[in-house]
Amino acid sequence: MSKTIIPFGPQHPVLPEPLHLKLTVEDEVVTEVIPALGFVHRGLEKLSEIRDFHQMVQVVERVCGICSVIHAMCYCHGIEEMMGIEVPPRAKFLRVIWSELHRMQSHLLWLGLFADSFGFEALFMQFWKIREKVMDISESTTGNRVIVSVNVVGGVRRDLNSEQISWILTLLKDIEQEIGALKKTLLTDYTITKRTVGKGVLTKHQAYGIGTVGPVLRGSGVVQDTRTLGYAAFNELNFEPVVESDGDCYARTKVRFRETLQSIDLIRQAMSKIPNGEINVKVKGKPQGEVVSRVEQPRGELLYYIKANGNKNLDRLRIRTPTFANIPAILTMLPGMYLSDVPVIVLSIDPCISCTER
């Protein structure tokens, strides 16, 4: 059978963002994949030369719309470590609460998009209906729906009062119940298992070897979660990384589904343990030195390298996003799969192209 080259993307119905894959196909089977990136490059790292290090918090939030809190948190951790700032304990817990809310909304968004990728529109709408409640919590507590601008160097900008906490806990109960009602459909439905089980298998050895991160790595049976390092207030919360061993699309779906419920549990724990006190400290001086900061994003480990030399502008800011680390996973998983499975497998790594290209 002769080879045919099929372009997948940059504009494709299943892709929310422009990712271009050049697929070499023999008959219906993919034999080779070449990715092309760079359609939404904005040069946000370069902006650190003209925006001061306080303003950069708002810039790095815009690296990714879906996990803005976590980007800002990672950047703030780096700058705080460099300047020797001790963040108040209440601010640490508030950061955990908002970052877990973001993980929840990101996973719910993905679960919806994933259902949409194999044509289960009704399930897609159910997940997004639940996500809307998380967005409401975000808007009422932080002021904005997605890019919430709540982190600053030295702490957080908003506090939660007891009324808000009890309102959030009531909403979380509803959300947990509604997600639980969809569990049977997502994990046992014939149409879903037929499209996901055994598709895009990544063995434990392969996943570790090509340096994947996040749910892709945990779906292949490697226990690795940056939250276990105990940044912010995670060292005071009880949780185990969610791990599945099969390494296929189904395992990754299960990891993300279970992580959504885990986030609810973490928010509850954080709310029960949150101490009273200040929410931010005054920042004086300018950063100097270099630092690497790591946190766990919904898609995996996020890494910031920050270098400063005592000016208000940073010398260098390098952002390594989880999707960038997971692109090799697509290239390993796709060869040998049918063309009709490509959208499902590509979406199973939860590609965030605006993150990758910054």
Partner 1 sequence: MFTFTSNILKNFLSQRATRRYPFETRSPFDGARGMLLNHIEKCNLCSICAVKCPSQCITVDRKALTWECDPFACVYCGICVDACPERALYQKPEYRQVAEKREMISLKGEIKKKVKKETDNGIESE
Contacts to partner 1 by CB under 8 A? 51-52, 54-59, 62, 122-123, 126, 129, 132, 136, 139-144, 147, 149, 157-158, 181-182, 184-185, 188-190, 282-285, 312
Q: Is 43 helix (H, G, I), strand (E, B) or coil?
A: coil
Of the CA atoms within 13 Å of residue 218, those in its CB half-sphere come to 23
Place of tokens 């399930």: 123
Please say which residue, 55 or 272, places its beta carbon nearer to partner 1. 55
CB of 178 to partner 1, least distance (A): 10
Give min distance, CB of 170 to partner 1, in A.
Answer: 16
Nearer to partner 1, 36 or 181 (CB): 181
Return the number of the residue (22 or 51) whose C-beta is nearest partner 1.
51
DSSP sequence for 269-304 = HHHHHPPPS-SB----S--EEEEEEEEEETTEEEEE
3-state class (DSSP) for residue 222: coil
How many Cβ atoms from other residues are within 10 Å of residue 63's Cβ? 24
Q: Considering the complex, what minimum distance in angstroms separates the CB of residue 282 from partner 1? A: 7
Name the strands in the sheet holding 29-36, side by side, starting at the edge strand that comes first in the sequence: 3-8, 20-26, 29-36
The DSSP output letter for 305 is E
Residue whose CB is less far from partner 1, 55 or 245: 55
For tokens 């089977």, what's the residue? 29
Rounded to whole angstroms, how far apart are CA atoms 76 and 81? 8
Q: Nearer to partner 1 by C-beta: 61 or 341?
A: 61
* CB closer to partner 1, 13 vs 282: 282
Smallest separation (angstroms) from partner 1 to the CB of 95: 17
Find the shortest distance in angstroms from Cβ 294 to partner 1: 24
CB 30, min distance to partner 1, A: 30
